[in-house]
Chains A and B, each alone.
Chain A
Amino acid sequence: MAETGRLSALGSAPPVRAALRYGAITAVALAAFAMVLLLAGKDPLRAYADTFSYTLANAYGFSELLVRMTPLLLTAVAVALPSRLGLINVGGEGQLYMGAWLASAGALMFPGLPRWQLLPLVALLGFIGGAVWAAIPGVLRAARLVNETIATLLLNYVAPLIVSYFIFGPWRDVRGSAYPQSSAFSEAARLPSFFDTRVHGGLLIALAALLAYWLIMEKTRWGVDMRAIGGNPEAARRLGLPVAAWIVIALAIGGGFAGLAGMGEAMGIHGRLRQGLSPGYGFTGFLIAWLAGGRPLGILFMAFLFAIITSAGDTLQITQGLPYSAINLLLAMILFIVLARRPRKAGR
C-alpha cells in the first residue's frame, strides 16, 4: 500500500537537540490543548497541575506510567524492526491478541506446572502466537501476493474475534461470572509484580526486547543485512541475500514482540484472558515507532510520553469531568505538529 521505507519523523539530530525538539513540540501541543480545555469551560492550569501531581509526583501514579509503557515499548519494537527492511507492520494489535491467546492456552492447559517451567513456556507461547500471526502477512508479501500493510491491517480484526470466541466458548469462566472472560490462570503463570504495584515482569521483558532490537540492528551482521535490504532490495537480492526469508523473519520477530505485549497484559495485569485486552496499543505502538524514527532511545522516551498522556486522560476524567477520550485530542495535536513540521525531501 505505502512505500514509505524507513520510519523517520524527527530526523537524526543529536540527543540533546532532539530532546529540546520533543520538549518544544510538547509545549506547543499543551498550549493548544489548553485552549480546547478553556473552550470546554475547564481550567487548563489546574488540569495540568493535577495530572502532574497524580502521575509524576506520586509513587503509585508513576508506577502506573510504567504499567502503561510496558505494552507500548513492545508494540513499538514490533513496528520498528520490520521497518528497517521497509516493511510496514500495522498489525501490532492483532499480534498482541494472538500472543495473549496462545500464552493463555498454555497457562490454561498446564496449570499444574511449577512456576520456573510455566512462566518461560507461557512467554515463549506469547512470542510464537504473535510471530505466527505476523508471519502470515510476511509469507504473503515475500511471495509477492498481498501487500503486508493490507494483510497486517486485516488480520487485526480477526485476532480479537478468535479471543472472543474462546472466552465466550470453550474457555469461559464457568463460575458464575457474567463478565465474559477465561477462568483465572494458576498463580504459577502470573508474571511477578514489584513493590505492591501493578508493575510486572513484562516491563523487564519489554526493556530486554528494546535492548535486543538495538543490539541486533547496530551490532550484528543481521542488522547490516536487514538495513541493506531496506535500502535497496534489488541490490540486496543480487548480492545473494535471502530477501524473501528476511521479510518473513523480520515480520515474525516483530510480531513476536507484540505477542509478548499481549502475554504481559494477560499474565501480568489481568491473570486471565479478557476482551478489550488492548485499548489500541498496537496502533499507538506504530505511532511511537514512527515518531521515534525507529531509534531505541526515542522509543523509550515516546512510550513514556504516551503513557503520561493517556494517564492524563484518567486525571481529566476524575478531576475535570471530561470524557476520557478527550485526551486523544492532545495526542492528535502533538502528532499534527510533528507531522506538519516540515515537508520532507524526496527520498527520505
Chain B
Amino acid sequence: MTTPLFSGVLAGAILSGTSLLYATLGETLVERAGIVNLGLEGILLIGASTGFATAAATGSAWLGLLVAALSGGLANILFGWLVVSRRANQLASGLAMLFFGFGLSALVGTPYVGAVITGLPKWRPAWLAALPWVSGSTLFNYDALTWMALPVAVLVWWALFRTRWGLGVRAVGESPAAAFASGRSPGILQFQALSAGGVLGGLAGAHLSLSLTLTWAEYMTAGRGFIAIALVIFSKWHPLRAVAGALLFGGAEALQLQLQARGTDVSPFLLEMFPYLLTILVLLAWGGARRLAAPASLGRTFYGSE
C-alpha cells in the first residue's frame, strides 16, 4: 500500500516539478544578475500559449517547443529593455510583464482552445520499465524536457559557478559598480542572463501545454510562475538546491492529489500551504548567513556605467 503512494507521489512530483524547475532555474539566472522578474508567470503563459498555438498550427510539438523558448527569451529581453536600458523600477516592470503575459497569451491561445495536438513524445528505457516497483506506474515515462531537467540544472550551476561568464553575472548581481570597475559590462551580462532565463521560462510554460495537459486554457499556469519565484528564495539562489525545491513543491501538489484520490481526510489546502511556510522558515533559519543570502544588488537599478 505504501509503495504505490510513494511512487505515485514521486511520479507526480517529477511531472509537475519539471516546469517548476525550468522556471526556477530561469529566475535564478536572472536574479543572480541582480534582477527580479515578478512577471515570470507572464513569461510562462507566453511560452505555454505560443508553444501550443505553434504545435496546433504546424502539427509539430518540437517546433512548438522552439517557438516557446524563443518567445520566452524575447519577452525577457523586452523586460530587460525596461529595467536595464530604461532603468525602470523592477517590481513595477515585472507586474507589467505579468499583465502583458496574461493579455498576449489570451489573444494567442484563444483561437486554439479545444485544438488537439500530439504532445512531446515520451519514452522510458526498457531496463527501468522492468523494475518491479516501476512497471505499473507512469514513473520514468518522460518527455525530453523532464529527462533534460536535471542536466539543465547542472548546466546552469556550472555556468554560474564554474565559468568566467558566471562569475561576471554573479559579480553584477552583487555589485554592478565593482563589476564595471573590473572591466565587465553589467548591462550586457544582465541581458545575457535575462535571455537565457527567458528561454528557460518559455520552456517551463511549454511543458505545461505540450506535455502535461495537451490543451490551452486561459491562465493555465495557475500561479506556477509565482511559486517558482518562491522557489528561488527557498533554494537560496542556487540551481542545485532548486532541484530539491522543485521536487518538494511538486511533491506537495502530487501528495495532495494522491491523498484526495484515496479519500484521506486531510485538507488539500493545508498541504498546499506547507511549502510556502517552509520557505519562510528556511529564510528565518538562514536569516543571517551571508553565504546563503540574496545577491546584494538584487532589485537595485545600476546607474553608474555612463
Contact = CB atoms under 8 A, between A and B. Distances in A.
Given A1-B294, A328-B106, A157 B91 contact: no
Given A165-B269, A332-B99, A339-B82, A146 B93 contact: no
A340 B227 CA distance: 28
Contacts of B188: none
Contacts of B98: 283
Interface in B95-117: 95-100, 102-107, 110
A147 B294 contact: yes
A141 B91 CA distance: 18
B21 interface: no
Contacts of B25: none
B160 interface: no
B174 interface: no
A287 to B, nearest CB: 5
Contacts of A287: 92, 95-96
B188 to A, nearest CB: 17
A197 interface: no
Given A140-B284, A150-B283, A157-B226, A323 B88 contact: no
A151 interface: yes
Interface in A124-177: 140, 144-147, 149-151, 153-158, 161-162, 164-165, 168-169
Given A146-B283, A336-B96, A340-B82, A90 B102 contact: no
B280 A162 contact: no
A335 B89 contact: no
Contact of A346 (B99, B227, B284, B303): B303
Interface in A287-324: 287, 290-291, 322-324
A3 interface: yes
Contacts of B229: 153
Given A283-B95, A336-B82, A336-B96, A323 B107 contact: yes
Interface string B277-306: 101100110011000001000111101100
A157 B87 CA distance: 29
B169 interface: no
B273 A326 contact: no
A9 interface: yes
Given A158-B276, A326-B103, A1 B218 contact: no
A345 B303 contact: yes
B89 A4 contact: yes
Contacts of A322: 107, 110
A156 to B, nearest CB: 8
A187 B292 CA distance: 53
Interface in A260-308: 283, 286-287, 290-291
Contacts of A20: none
Contacts of B200: none
Nearest to B78: A336
Interface residues of A, number: 55
Contacts of B55: none
A154 B273 contact: no
A53 interface: no
B70 to A, nearest CB: 19
A145 B287 contact: yes
A332 B299 contact: no
Contacts of A9: 89, 92
B138 to A, nearest CB: 27
A265 to B, nearest CB: 20
A90 B284 contact: no
B38 A40 contact: no
A288 to B, nearest CB: 11
A109 interface: no
Interface string A199-234: 000000000000000000000000000000000000
Contact of A339 (B38, B93, B280, B283): B93
28 contacts: A1-B294, A3-B299, A4-B91, A9-B89, A9-B92, A140-B284, A144-B287, A145-B284, A154-B279, A156-B226, A157-B223, A164-B269, A165-B269, A287-B92, A287-B96, A326-B106, A328-B99, A328-B100, A328-B106, A329-B103, A331-B96, A332-B99, A332-B100, A332-B103, A336-B100, A339-B88, A340-B88, A344-B301
Given A90-B91, A153-B230, 4 more contacts: A2-B298, A153-B226, A325-B103, A329-B99
Interface of B: 36, 38, 81-82, 85-93, 95-100, 102-107, 110, 218-219, 223, 226-227, 229-230, 233, 267, 269-270, 272-273, 276-277, 279-280, 283-284, 287-288, 294, 298-301, 303-304
